[in-house]
Amino acid sequence: MRQPVAHGFTAVDQQPRPSEFVQVLDTLNADPFYTAYKARLRELLRPRPGARFLDVGAGTGAAALTMAQESGSTVAAVDFSTTMAGQAHARGLPYVTVADAHHLPFRDTSFDGAWADRVLQHVTEPEQVLAEMLRVIRPGGRIALADPDYDTQVLDIADQQLARRVLRFRADVQLRNGTLAHQHAGLLNRLGVLDVTTEARTLVVRDHRAADNCLGLRTWADAAAEHGHLTRADAEQFTAQFDEAVHDGRFTYALTFFLTAGTIAPNSRT
């Protein structure tokens, strides 16, 4: 029987070892692809000294700290995981709140900008989270979003049909909103955000250890079998072909991230 699957980042504190999720974020943060797109996401927010920003689903607070140090702005972090909020606080971020992004505990128009980096993919109601972000940003302020879109995945293993089935499990089952990122621009447009821009950046992984350690790609077929979405034989076949692709030097996985930003309409509160 098919069973629902909850990604660890939907409930970090309930995982057997929450600290492993801190390590995953630290490993990803050190990766040049992530470092580069995160720098661009900060640029899109147009920070300046004295401005106030909110990092929604801030994780370890690493990006919020970098933004504050780089720009001289004040950055608050919100995350509903106490493990993550504890990390952000321990790393020196002064304003850290444990809260659900669907109900941000901040007054209307209290920030010059807000961003959510790889968060909307995990929430139950992305449109409500966006509405909350827009509520707390002042008219004329900036919003920025980043997420991978798992509809864009490719993986070179021998059986492309099998690869597609496993990649679809990742896109449609393992993540709540794994294929939403290409719709962020449309969502912001519909919510009245102005000057919406979208940029795409493709992560290309040739070192299987990077995919395996962080994204857990080699384990996706096992997870699919465990939850009744793939037969055990298919999962074993996937793992064997994954290892064969690595051995033959053909292993290639790619996934596109979308960075979407815009400006809150000046008359949005009148």
User: Which residues lie near ligand SAM (CB under 6 A)?
Assistant: 9-10, 12, 25, 57-59, 63, 79-81, 84, 100-102, 117-119, 122-123
Specify the residue, 25 or 181, whose C-beta has the smaller distance to ligand SAM: 25
Query: What are the structure tokens assigned to 10, written together?
Result: 């939907």
Integer Cα distance of 142 and 37 in angstroms:
17
Nearer to ligand SAM, 11 or 194 (CB): 11
Residues β-bridged to residue 198: 260
Tell me the closest approach of the beta carbon of residue 61 to ligand SAM, in angstroms.
Answer: 8
Provide, rounded to whole angstroms, the least separation between the CB of residue 223 and ligand SAM.
Answer: 17
Measured from the CB atom, the residue of 51 and 56 that comes closer to ligand SAM is: 56
Task: State the nearest-atom distance from the C-beta of 204 to ligand SAM, in Å.
Answer: 20
Residue of this chain nearest to ligand SAM (CB atom): 59
- Is the Cβ of residue 47 or residue 242 nearer to ligand SAM in the bound state? 47
d(CA 232, CA 225) in angstroms, rounded, equals 5
State in angstroms the smallest separation of the CB of 112 from ligand SAM: 19
List the structure tokens of 201: 């950046």
For residue 110, count other CB atoms closer than 10 A to its CB: 16
CB of 206 to ligand SAM, least distance (A): 23
Q: In the complex with ligand SAM, which residue's Cβ is closer, 126 or 141?
A: 126
Task: Give residue for tokens 């002042």.
Answer: 138
Question: Which residues does 36 contact at the CB level (< 8 Å), separation at least 6?
Answer: 201
For residues 67 and 73, the answer to whether their CB atoms sit within 8 Å is yes
State the number of CA atoms in the 13 A half-sphere of 133 facing the CB.
35
The greatest distance separating any two alpha carbons of the chain, rounded to the nearest whole angstrom, comes to 62
